[in-house]
A and B are shown apart, each in its own frame.
Chain A
Amino acid sequence: MQLKVQVFLKAAVLDPQGKAVLGSLHSMGFTEVGDVRVGKVFSIQVPDGDPETVKLRVEQMAAKLLCNPVIEEFAILP
């Protein structure tokens, strides 16, 4: 099975990439855009198993390596 982990910079952390994309969208005429944040998605392939156990393991991977809790937060996508 495959799980997806999404990682974004925390709201309190300035995301200059998001700001650059926002500025570009505005200059293209998409003036309705309020904010843009750029994040990452990891697709994690693991053997089929008990969904709760698998999810717990992937959470550990995210907390230990995929996400730096000082600046980022993660979510496991449904």
Chain B
Amino acid sequence: MKAAVVVFPGSNCDHDIHHVLNEVAGVPAEYVWHGESSLAGYDAAVLPGGFSYGDYLRCGAIARFSPIMPEVERLAREGRPVLGICNGFQVLTECHLLPGALLRNRKLKFLCQDVHLRVEPSASLYAAKYRKGEVLRIPIAHMDGNYFCDPDTLRELEEGKRVVFRYVRPDGTREDGDGTANPNGALASIAGIMNKEGNVLGMMPHPERVSEAALGGTDGRRLFQALKKFLEGRA
């Protein structure tokens, strides 16, 4: 079992993910530079947060054409786990492994704060160790996290139970447009979605930042433990 942490120029959560996978979740993980052209031998790929290529053009738009990306797409097609967090989510939408796009935050401000997420009733492998309806506290740190898609795509996501996490109030209820619980203005309060097959997850919040009590929370840890369990099941 081996996971690749893809490193783009400007990635800055790659060390956090590498640490949590290896030291907390027990998933052997290695860095793979974006200029590499093979992920042979890897069973999963994580696209970390950061500002690949300085967020120039659009977030993730240039990273999406990195030499490593056809291999990330191959893993996704083969049903292997591909996880994109924050900038990684943006890359996954740019390369169409996930639908929609991440727009500038509604209030045009960089947001760095804890949010509450509700675990939605999806069949996501990453949510296997969470209870449906459970409320997690996980930080966000982004300028462009305002999820958008067209109405047909939204219907597909909702009907296919592909919304994995939603921004909610601490009591698990959705806000009514006042910005208190959905700070970036995401459509339908969407914080994370998966592909049809469920092996690709993109999310704006950072579970790797709350995987150890010493860092202020452990609500993110079970996502990586679920990933480990899935990989063990396939081994």
Which A positions have Cβ atoms within 8 angstroms of B?
9, 12-14, 16-17, 20, 65-66, 68, 70-71
CB neighbours (8 Å) of B105 from chain A are: 16
B101 CB–A CB distance under 8 Å:
yes
Q: Is the CB of B148 within 8 A of A20?
A: no
Which B positions have Cβ atoms within 8 angstroms of A?
57-58, 61-62, 65, 93-94, 99-101, 103-108, 148-150, 185
Q: Which of B61, B99, B107 contacts A16 (CB 8 A)?
A: B107
Inter-chain residue pair count (beta carbon < 8 A): 36
Q: How far is the CA of A20 from the CA of B106 in the complex (A)?
A: 10
Q: A13-B148, A66-B57 are in contact. List 6 more A-B contacts (CB 8 A).
A: A14-B103, A14-B106, A16-B103, A16-B106, A65-B61, A70-B150
How would you classify the secondary structure of chain B's contact residues: helix, strand, loop or mixed? loop
B186 to chain A, nearest CB (A): 12
A39 to chain B, nearest CB (A): 13
CB neighbours (8 Å) of B106 from chain A are: 14, 16
Task: List 22 interface pairs A-B (beta carbons < 8 Å), by A numbering.
Answer: A13-B148, A14-B106, A16-B104, A16-B105, A16-B106, A16-B107, A16-B108, A16-B185, A17-B108, A65-B57, A66-B57, A68-B58, A68-B94, A68-B101, A70-B93, A70-B99, A70-B100, A70-B148, A70-B149, A70-B150, A71-B101, A71-B148
B80 to chain A, nearest CB (A): 25
Q: How far is the CA of A43 from the CA of B107 in the complex (A)?
A: 29
Q: Is the CB of A68 within 8 A of B61?
A: yes
Q: How far is the CA of A16 from the CA of B61 in the complex (A)?
A: 20
A45 to chain B, nearest CB (A): 17
Q: How far is the CA of A19 from the CA of B170 in the complex (A)?
A: 30
B86 to chain A, nearest CB (A): 18
Considering residues A9, A20, A65, which has the most beta carbons from chain B within 10 angstroms of its beta carbon?
A65
B187 to chain A, nearest CB (A): 10
